[in-house]
A and B are shown apart, each in its own frame.
Chain A
């Protein structure tokens, strides 16, 4: 039915500057993946000539109560991860407009199980972060210099 095993992604740049938030989990994962694909990554700029500049503007976690019993007990939480970035050429020409990836996960909650739930939240945030990393890498592969 036309499906073929995925090939290694090809990036149209061989060197990139990562600016802004260079030391978050997602940022580091993107840098690691680009490195593995043979792209030179310069954190916060550097001496190498680059063809693209990725600026990570925002990367944060949110927790919101979405379900509450009428006694003020929390029954459901929503976890959100927001990641905003843009990609420009070294001369400032926009290659990819600033865009925000917003991922949400709903989990059940109980005050009594607060310790276990804190660990579960960590697991889900990591899951969202790897999801965002994969989505951003797909978008980076679509950048045309």
Chain B
């Protein structure tokens, strides 16, 4: 006896059945027949009567009577015929089909497709082989068919001929009409639609809106999947009061580059009697190597519009985060070992308004940076030092600049910043001293305040950052924690140099936050180096769940003490003589996965007031259920309340829906969705996107109210209606993007999922 016989081969668990058999195996698969009465001979015609069934591995034919020719595969079936081809089912009175060529036709069938759960009926279906079929005088919908009753789906596509291609996973309708609740609303001579969740050409959900500026508008987007790595979305919009806007977006993806181009054009907009246009281009490319061990990348980011009012006349159309400041830059980055070189042109288009003008930021035309950094080097026999030397030469230019009092002109700046730092550390503590020298040279087109056209400034800065981490076991509110206590001390020293005569190209004050409290320079940018001689003390404590390692609570406090007055200021600023800074208080609580609270307060202990504070709460009790609220106050400047929500309404009257795979919380659900940004000071909503979504199962309807405050007196308001047919039009729509970006846990009601298996539809 051998060892192999003693221990037979173990069975292995397969996690899935084989969807597709290889072509050569497929031909050899046997054909089985069943029935009450079977007559026939080998390699001849077999006749099966009564509950007849013919079965191959991926196809089943049933009927009252089946005639099957073994040699040719020719099959005729009559009476309550059912065909299941790879999960797609057709039912009807009479079928003619060849099991070898997979060609044939079916009279008056109803059908159900597996992949997108679509169904319909037709006067005839023609099977063309190779996974293709044609449906004549057919209806097509993804709405369910109740057993017995006549089928009146909520939406349907009616067409003279529909081609179904299971290989390409695309359907095409000739002379088709889309109907909703029995009302035809879109007739198309030719229309394609996807048969699966894969990206395929087809209509995107159309939207209809009523707008305070544009009147009645219709957008009918169409998606063209040009190739696996190219696609194009066309978005024509008809605005009753203004005309037709044409928008297209082309995206491309290649091994070495990717990007997208978006362009809009509206000829003779009657709102302002002019042509309107906008375009943007984002491109990122890996150019490759020059010497062999380096890399060169280029990036382009262009955003331009035709006129200053574009942002308010086409709200939410621009992809730029800042709607009145559009970035336009092109940059090349080269890296080799410790070297990084960066050459770029950075410009801005500012959209000016008479009653709220913008002082535009400087364009940098060009800006060249060379950085050399080395880690873990020896200095005076001591290892572990990091060195960085950065040089930058930039030509600063302000677009459309008119020399006026108080605003300086154009010029060039070169700076060198050299830095040496070392970190001594252990798991429980660290000390990190840093020495920095910053030297800048200026040459201006016009005379500076000091009656010279050029100036320079060199300043050293010495700083030491240090911290410790203590830990203990603790228990609060019946839970065990690992509690930490983390003191941090930061000391910085920079001597005073008068910099008031220097131009300010890119320096600005920082927001008051934890990271900024522990930096050397009170200003961001390179034109002002503050004479900060200060100590910053910070203390934070965390509660960590010992089981998961997750952070449950974090509290922090930090304050800076100036050892001397800070005399360097931004233009128009005043020296800081208050030796104790405001306190920074932070709290972050994630008590369980449902609740999150985040708060930052800038508190002045002398005046007992907070200069700036934010508090945000988020409650996420389950799928499709989120409520978030944030309150942000800048004293004497702004008070804003920001609320976001997605909530199933049936929840409110106690009938909770159950999650359905790729069907949200099941059919027949209403959801409230929205985002509201409210200015408490002006008592005005600044930005509102709010409405309802209804999920019928085979379609999703949406009514959204949008309001965007454009200036102190006027706002753009619109009501938007959108219909999305499940399994027919891909999801999308700009109103959804606004929700997605403002409600961090917002979920779309439909998502792309794995394709269905033919074994789910097994006969």
Contact = CB atoms under 8 A, between A and B. Distances in A.
A64 B741 contact: yes
Given A114-B322, A139-B550, A142-B549, A66 B642 contact: yes
B485 interface: yes
Nearest to B364: A115
B547 A142 contact: yes
A5 B469 contact: yes
Contact of A66 (B312, B632, B710): B632
B428 A7 contact: yes
Contacts of A114: 322, 325, 327, 348, 361
B469 A6 contact: yes
Contacts of A117: 508, 524
B484 interface: yes
B85 to A, nearest CB: 34
A66 B682 contact: no
Contacts of B603: none
A25 interface: no
B253 interface: no
Contact of B355 (A71, A76, A96): A71
B539 interface: no
Interface stretch (A13-21, A38-46, A50-58, A100-108): A100-108
A110 B544 contact: no
B506 A116 contact: yes
Contacts of A106: 511, 513, 600, 614, 632
B677 A68 contact: yes
Given A106-B632, A116-B524, A69 B469 contact: no
B513 A96 contact: no
A110 to B, nearest CB: 7
Interface in B469-522: 469-474, 483-485, 505-508, 510-511, 513-516, 519
A37 to B, nearest CB: 9
A96 B243 CA distance: 55
A109 B358 CA distance: 13
Given A3-B471, A4-B470, A102-B744, A73 B356 contact: yes
Contacts of A139: 548-550
A63 B321 CA distance: 8
Nearest to B714: A70
Contacts of B545: 142
A74 interface: yes
Contacts of B551: 135, 138
A66 B549 contact: no
Contacts of B483: 3
Contacts of A68: 677, 686-687, 709
A9 interface: yes
Contacts of B744: 80, 102, 104
A53 B18 CA distance: 28
Contact of B709 (A8, A70, A111): A70
B311 interface: yes
Given A72-B711, A119-B524, A135-B551, A8 B427 contact: yes
Nearest to A110: B508
A66 B209 CA distance: 25
A80 B327 CA distance: 21
A74 B311 CA distance: 13
Contacts of A140: 549
B350 A111 contact: yes
Q: Which of A63, A114, A139 has the most CB of B within 10 A?
A: A114
A80 B600 CA distance: 15
A74 B712 CA distance: 14
B684 interface: yes
A141 interface: yes
A1 B511 CA distance: 36
Contacts of B324: 71-73, 111
Interface size on A, as a range, is: 35 or more
Contacts of A73: 324, 356, 358
A70 B548 contact: no
A71 B511 contact: no
B514 A127 contact: yes
Contacts of A138: 544, 549-551
A96 B472 contact: no
B525 interface: yes
Most buried by B among A63, A105, A120, A135: A120
Nearest to A124: B515
A142 B709 contact: no
B322 A111 contact: yes
Contacts of A108: 511, 612, 634
B508 A5 contact: no
Interface in B615-640: 616, 630, 632, 634, 637-638, 640
B359 A112 contact: yes
A35 interface: no
Contact of A72 (B311, B473, B637, B682): B311
Contacts of B519: 123
Query: Which of A63, A70, A76, A141 has most chain B Cβ within 10 Å?
Result: A70
Contacts of B640: 66-67, 76
B353 interface: yes
Contact of A75 (B355, B428, B548, B638): B638
A6 B471 contact: yes
B513 A2 contact: no
Contacts of B474: 2
B598 interface: yes
B470 A111 contact: no
A64 B742 contact: yes
A79 to B, nearest CB: 10
B324 to A, nearest CB: 5
A115 to B, nearest CB: 4
A67 B350 CA distance: 19
A99 to B, nearest CB: 8
B604 interface: no
A120 B547 contact: no
Contact of B323 (A63, A72, A141): A72
A142 B481 CA distance: 12
B468 interface: yes
Interface string A66-94: 11111111111100100000000000000
B155 interface: no
B679 interface: yes
A7 B359 contact: no
Contacts of B473: 2
A95 B277 CA distance: 53
B595 interface: no
Interface of B: 311-312, 321-325, 327, 346, 348, 350, 353, 355-356, 358-362, 364, 427-429, 468-474, 483-485, 505-508, 510-511, 513-516, 519, 523-525, 544-551, 598, 600, 612, 614, 616, 630, 632, 634, 637-638, 640, 642, 677, 679, 682, 684, 686-687, 709-712, 741-742, 744
Interface of A: 1-9, 62-77, 80, 96, 99, 102, 104-117, 119-120, 123-124, 127, 135, 138-143
25 contacts: A6-B428, A64-B741, A66-B640, A67-B632, A67-B638, A68-B686, A68-B687, A71-B711, A72-B356, A74-B321, A96-B548, A102-B744, A106-B511, A106-B632, A111-B325, A114-B327, A114-B361, A115-B361, A115-B505, A116-B525, A120-B508, A124-B513, A127-B514, A127-B515, A138-B549
Given A4-B470, A71-B711, A111-B324, 20 more contacts: A4-B471, A6-B471, A66-B632, A67-B638, A68-B677, A70-B682, A72-B323, A72-B324, A72-B711, A73-B356, A76-B634, A80-B744, A104-B744, A107-B511, A111-B350, A113-B508, A115-B505, A119-B525, A138-B549, A139-B549
User: Closest 8 interchain pairs by CB?
Assistant: A142-B549, A71-B356, A116-B508, A113-B508, A5-B428, A139-B549, A3-B470, A116-B524
